[in-house]
Chain A
Amino acid sequence: MDCRVTLAQTNPTLGNLAANLRDHVERIRAAAAAGSQLIVFPELSLTGYFLKDQTVDLALRLDAKELSEFAQLSQSISILVGFVERSPDGRIYNTTAFFEDGRALAVHRKVHLVTYGMFDEQREFAAGDRFDPIESKLGRFGVLICEDAWHVSSGYLHFLNNVDALLVPSCSPGRGIGGGGADLQSRRSWNTLLEAHGRFFQTWVVYANRVGWEDGVVFSGGSRIVDPFGETVCALDGFDAGTLGGRLESNTLDRARVMTPLRRDAKPWILADGLKRGSGKGGGA
């Protein structure tokens, strides 16, 4: 893969599909005009995050006219966008759709819904049940929506599927001022996590987090590209909306995988065997 990517660090208007759609279209056109081949938007980028009872009113079928515009625009650039999906069987999901060459090529439905502390996603959403790679013309991508990335098994599956890049759309609220660090604890945790994913899963990591406030909660931006050595290549470190461009190159993937051949040496059947023999049920193997 060799791919010019744009990260859109947006500040969606809560529940306003029309306004958010306009913002998406402008950013997509600008990225395409600048020669980008892929644009990645944050989680629930079309709707905003703390939707509560608005969730069901904003749910879109994959063939909804609001999404058809992305299909058209994807003739010139591949697009990952976040929205509330109403599936054909009537379930509501926290979903990203990947548009390419005039169609929705793949969807990922968030598996690890956050339901603790300030979060209540399991009240609003059904959970996805798989991490399938996207076979794009640009390369092989694995999508992890926010909390999906906090469960190492998600990234490990994509590692086993040999993805070239993890796309991580997020709505991460910033929090944690204690201890006097110059950055929020939640942002530092994300940076550690993303760099670890790059390093240990030997993949590019493209993290698109949103910014802005919803009822006193700030979303903390920090969108970035991490290389397969685990180094941050470029980042939007402020709390403002913006875009970030970068290149995902296969040469770098190859060099990282030669230097430390973790993929060659992986033994996933030990995991499979352990699960078969009863590991993972809370007790001993």
Chain B
Amino acid sequence: MNGLKIDPALVESLLVNFLREEVGHTGFSKALLGVSGGVDSAVVAALAARAFGPQNVLGVMMPYRTSDPASEAHARVLIDALGIASRKVDISGMADGYLAPPKIEARMRRGNVMARCRMIVLYDLSVEWNGLVLGTSNKTEILLGYSTQWGDSASALNPIGDLYKDQIYQLARHLKVPAPILEKAPSADLFPGQTDEGELGFTYADADRLLYLMVDERMRESELVERGFAPDFVKKLAARIAATQFKRVPPIIAKLSHRTVNQDFRYLRDWGK
């Protein structure tokens, strides 16, 4: 069995239902998201358009002055194809207001600042739009911790966080995401020439196969090596998952009382809705 293979029609119906009902629990019926021109936000936008109607979904393009113009062009193709509402907010001014002076050169710091500027824009627009911010992180990047904490990882709810990158593509084809988005190399577009696979040092195809067996099937290192994965690759990903756990949980709280939030004060978010 190919554990990564999905029935995209089934997944679509579940996720449309998820968006409608979980957003509905909060009393909202509209949503917004950052539309990057990539496949993840394209899939979320397509699901949201089906869940709420295109007129109730706002796609926000947030280029920085060094962003690849193709990103915005692809975002526009998607927005037009879905018929959703759109806004463009250039974040160059707000980002540069902090980044220089003093001049911050380190790529990671600059990228994190851009991602967090985009988060600020989305959460602010959510008030004006009267909708919830949808997350666009997939399972592969969540497990690898390949995101900016409180930046692109921030959202009210995320329909695609339990789908590996390979499964995102299966769903994207089913949802008829425009071809240029499906065909280009995934990129965070935080600096010129960046690609996810170049930065990670391995391919999504390899990562997805390994993560699926390691996380979903709970295979041990010895079994994974028997299946042909390089021992170093297995160790590297296992270490990376553990090292980035802080990105997947709320901040820890020093326990002092008998009843501490998230320890022994335990309620669903849907509590009281």
Contact = CB atoms under 8 A, between A and B. Distances in A.
Interface of A: 13-15, 50, 52-54, 174, 177-184, 212-216, 218, 239
Interface stretch (B6-14, B33-41, B85-93, B102-110): B6-14
16 contacts: A13-B273, A14-B273, A52-B266, A52-B268, A54-B267, A177-B11, A178-B212, A179-B3, A180-B7, A184-B10, A213-B21, A213-B270, A215-B22, A216-B18, A239-B13, A239-B14
Given A15-B271, A179-B2, A53 B265 contact: yes
A174 B14 contact: yes
B5 interface: yes
B6 A180 contact: yes
A211 to B, nearest CB: 9
B5 A180 contact: yes
B3 A214 contact: no
Nearest to A15: B271
A194 B183 CA distance: 45
Interface in B1-31: 1-7, 9-11, 13-14, 17-18, 21-22, 25
A53 B272 CA distance: 12
B216 interface: yes
Contacts of A213: 17-18, 21-22, 25, 270
Q: Interface of chain A, helix or strand or loop or mixed?
A: loop
Interface in B255-273: 265-273
B6 A177 contact: yes
Nearest to A124: B266
A184 B6 CA distance: 10
B157 interface: yes
A111 to B, nearest CB: 24
A84 B25 CA distance: 23
A234 to B, nearest CB: 21
Contacts of A215: 22, 268-270
A181 B10 CA distance: 9
Given A52-B266, A215-B22, A216-B18, 18 more contacts: A14-B270, A14-B271, A53-B267, A54-B271, A177-B167, A178-B2, A178-B5, A178-B216, A179-B1, A179-B2, A179-B3, A180-B6, A182-B7, A182-B10, A212-B21, A213-B22, A214-B270, A215-B269
Contacts of B272: 15
B18 A50 contact: no
Contacts of A239: 13-14, 17
A174 B15 CA distance: 12
Interface residues on B, range: 20 to 34
A170 B3 CA distance: 27
Contacts of A182: 7, 9-10
Q: Which of B4, B9, B11, B21 gathers the greatest number of chain A CB atoms within 10 Å?
A: B21
Contacts of B11: 177
A214 B21 CA distance: 9
A199 to B, nearest CB: 26
A213 B6 CA distance: 21
B203 to A, nearest CB: 20
A53 B14 CA distance: 28
A177 B7 contact: yes
Contact of B7 (A174, A181, A212, A218): A181
Contact of B266 (A13, A53, A214): A53
A167 B88 CA distance: 56
Lowest 10 A-B CB distances belong to which pairs? A180-B5, A178-B3, A52-B266, A215-B268, A179-B1, A213-B21, A177-B6, A53-B266, A182-B7, A14-B270
A178 B270 contact: no
A239 B13 CA distance: 9
Nearest to B6: A177
A54 B268 CA distance: 9
A239 B18 CA distance: 11
A179 B14 CA distance: 16
Contact of A216 (B4, B9, B22, B216): B22
Contacts of A218: 14, 17-18
A14 B6 contact: no
A54 B17 CA distance: 26
B1 A50 contact: no
A50 B268 contact: yes
B267 A177 contact: no
A212 B6 CA distance: 22
A35 B21 CA distance: 32
Contacts of A15: 271-272
Nearest to B24: A213
A182 B13 CA distance: 11
B268 A14 contact: yes
A177 B266 contact: no
